[in-house]
Structure 1
Amino acid sequence: MAEVFRIPANRITRLPFFTAIAGCEPQKIDDLAEDALYIGCPGRLLKDKNQRTLLEAFAEVKKNNPTTHIKLVFAGTGPDTEYLKQRAAALQLSDLVLFLGMLSAEEMAYFYKRIDLAVFPSKHEAFGLVLIEAMALETPFLVSNVFGALQFLPEEFVTNSELIFNPENGNELAVKIEKHVKGHHVDLISVRNMYDKTFSKVAILKAFESIVNR
């Protein structure tokens, strides 16, 4: 904006999105009723969203943990659906990979509450609302390092966090998923505190008011 519209840099302030998902009444999804460890991935099923890498990583984790009852769950639709189904079949994982299709806001609230780990593997993501939805509902997550929302979080967290991975590195993702499967959990209190300070409606409103009152 400074270059194109010649607005002074000191008059430009970035504000993140917020999510109202925490206020939704969760609506049960029968397909998630099984006693399994669910790894969930919400969003459009597109090649650029990189669910293909997640599927390959899941296959590696399952191979290394054959007796652990884990399932991969995609919430969303898109042109890559058929490829993912065919690839899951080729990997002999059809029974362990679920495709829920489009979900309502209430079903998404249940989805985040029910899954054990959310994975956001996109190769390009201008912001990434799904990340702050997971943070708002205190869902453990792994997120690609390209998410624009990460720019609003403390640099120390982004640089050192075990929750962030390179979307081009399927092996790294598999290792991080496997750590979670084996019981390694993150400090969700710290994650929730970051959400409250950065992405909550109250925090964004305060930031907006400070701009108006300059």
Structure 2
Amino acid sequence: MNSSPRVLLLATEAYGCRGGIATFNRNLCQALTAAPVAARVTVVPRRLDEALAEGALPPAVTQMTAATGGGLRFWVEAIRAARRGGPVDLILCGHLYLLPTAVLLRALTRAPMAVVLYGIEAWQPPRRRLLRGCARRLDHAIAISTLTLERFAAWSGHPSSRSTVLPCAVDLSRFTPGPRPAERVAALGLQGRRVLLTLARLDASERYKGIDEVLDALVALRAGSPDLVYLVAGDGSDRPRLEDRARQLGLQDAVRFLGYVPEADKVDLYRLADAFVMPGRGEGFGIVYLEAMACGIPVVASRADASQEAVRGGLLGELADPADTASVREAIRRALARPRGVRPDGLEVFTLSAFTERVQALLAALLKGAGQD
């Protein structure tokens, strides 16, 4: 194999962005550049939320920030990235919707192309014929969950022999169990209260997070446990509707909408909780479940989406049917009965080191298949 193979990663977001996809892409870049393969990675992102701090990029990673904004600019910068820095050995398309650009780059570079599938965007065939056609021209499909891979294969016909499941990872050195942060407990008036927590983007297009279902269950839960408080962290266009719904259910004193929580404050946020609850319908995996469990917080995931894979089918956490309020209510009760501050056995499957091993094995196989020996 040639030393330092070059990987071109087309991404919706990576360094300088917030959210689960950005975190996954940063972990992916770190794993790609690790030994023994030690690739060089050029990232072409469509979005940049904030300026990159000095030293934010690993030594072998370059990010083309001029590509942000999408449209023609993204196409131009992607082509420039492919033509600079030497031959491209592998194209990683970091979102199904970026496939047309990736197909063009494959024609220009003759490098193999793999797509990363995160979740709901790949569960049904896209409306655009171009995307459907591109999806049938892949060399390899990488999905963060088995559920997503199966649903993608059902409409695209992509063979399992050229597919890999690569679940998300969590940094166990950063997300750790610990005491509740006293200042935040006091500021939020949580003394003597048991706390449920959801951390999610509150966008009107993403009403599948399970927040409505938790609100419905909370009505009955509060009747027997008036000490329960529900913290909803995150912001977006659906927040006013959710706030109205909490008031309509008479939960205005039991539900706190915290807004956007900076990445640096996430550990303290998780440590406020007695249970992390997100029994939704559209999660492609959900790194937040891993982060909560790493902090020793029991979780409630869903039987209706790929979050069940984050809790390993119920081995690491509780499962609920979001279509059944009683199921959600009882799953929350079981989670509250679990010990707080204890990581569940089996979480090590999702460590960064395990993720890196999977990425390195996949990278070696893809390069070998392309003749990069």
Fold shared, TM-score > 0.5 on shorter chain: yes
Aligned length, in residue pairs? 205
Aligned mates of 2:316, 2:171 — CA distance in 1: 26
- Equivalent residue for 1:51, pick from 202, 211, 216: 211
Q: Which residue of 2 aligns with 1:10?
A: 161
Deviation sequence 1:53-93 (CA, Å, 0-9, x none):
11010111011334xx1101100112222222222222322
One-letter identity of the residue aligned with 1:164: L
Q: Which residue of 1 aligns with 2:290?
A: 132
Larger RCO of the pair (alpha carbons < 8 Å, separation 6+): 1
Deviation sequence 1:112-171 (CA, Å, 0-9, x none):
1110011012211112121111122221111112342534765xxx16777011111111
One-letter identity of the residue aligned with 2:287: L
One-letter identity of the residue aligned with 1:14: V
- Cα shift at 1:15: 1.1
One-letter identity of the residue aligned with 1:5: L
- Equivalent residue for 1:62, pick from 219, 222, 227: 222
- Equivalent residue for 1:203, pick from 337, 340, 354: 354
The structure-2 alpha-carbon separation of the partners of 1:189 and 1:31, relative to structure 1 and needing over 3 Å to count, comes to closer
RMSD: 3.1
Normalising to structure 2: TM-score of the pair?
0.48
The structure-2 alpha-carbon separation of the partners of 1:131 and 1:152, relative to structure 1 and needing over 3 Å to count, comes to closer
- Contact 2:303 / 2:321 at 8 angstroms: preserved in 1? yes
The structure-2 alpha-carbon separation of the partners of 1:10 and 1:159, relative to structure 1 and needing over 3 Å to count, comes to same
- Contact 2:301 / 2:311 at 8 angstroms: preserved in 1? no
- Contact 1:22 / 1:137 at 8 angstroms: preserved in 2? no
Q: Which residue of 1 aligns with 2:193?
A: 36
SS at match of 1:13: strand
SS at match of 1:139: coil
Aligned mates of 2:139, 2:359 — CA distance in 1: 22
The structure-2 alpha-carbon separation of the partners of 1:3 and 1:189, relative to structure 1 and needing over 3 Å to count, comes to farther
One-letter identity of the residue aligned with 1:53: E
- Cα shift at 1:37: 0.4
User: For the pair shown, which has the larger CA radius of gyration, 1 or 2?
Assistant: 2
User: What percent identity do the matched residue pairs reach?
Assistant: 21
- Contact 1:122 / 1:144 at 8 angstroms: preserved in 2? yes
Q: Which has the higher helix share?
A: 1
Normalising to structure 1: TM-score of the pair?
0.80
Aligned mates of 1:178, 1:88 — CA distance in 2: 20
Unaligned runs of 5+ in 1: none
Q: Which residue of 1 aligns with 2:328?
A: 173
Q: Which moved more, 1:159-168 or 1:70-79?
A: 159-168
2:309 aligned with 1:145: no
Unaligned runs of 5+ in 2: 1-114, 116-134, 141-158, 366-373
SS at match of 1:125: coil
The structure-2 alpha-carbon separation of the partners of 1:76 and 1:64, relative to structure 1 and needing over 3 Å to count, comes to same
- Contact 2:169 / 2:355 at 8 angstroms: preserved in 1? yes
The structure-2 alpha-carbon separation of the partners of 1:147 and 1:201, relative to structure 1 and needing over 3 Å to count, comes to farther
One-letter identity of the residue aligned with 1:15: L
Deviation sequence 1:157-190 (CA, Å, 0-9, x none):
x167770111111111112223445xx2169867
One-letter identity of the residue aligned with 1:166: D
- Contact 1:24 / 1:106 at 8 angstroms: preserved in 2? no
- Contact 2:270 / 2:292 at 8 angstroms: preserved in 1? yes
SS at match of 1:48: coil
- Cα shift at 1:110: 0.7
The structure-2 alpha-carbon separation of the partners of 1:112 and 1:21, relative to structure 1 and needing over 3 Å to count, comes to farther
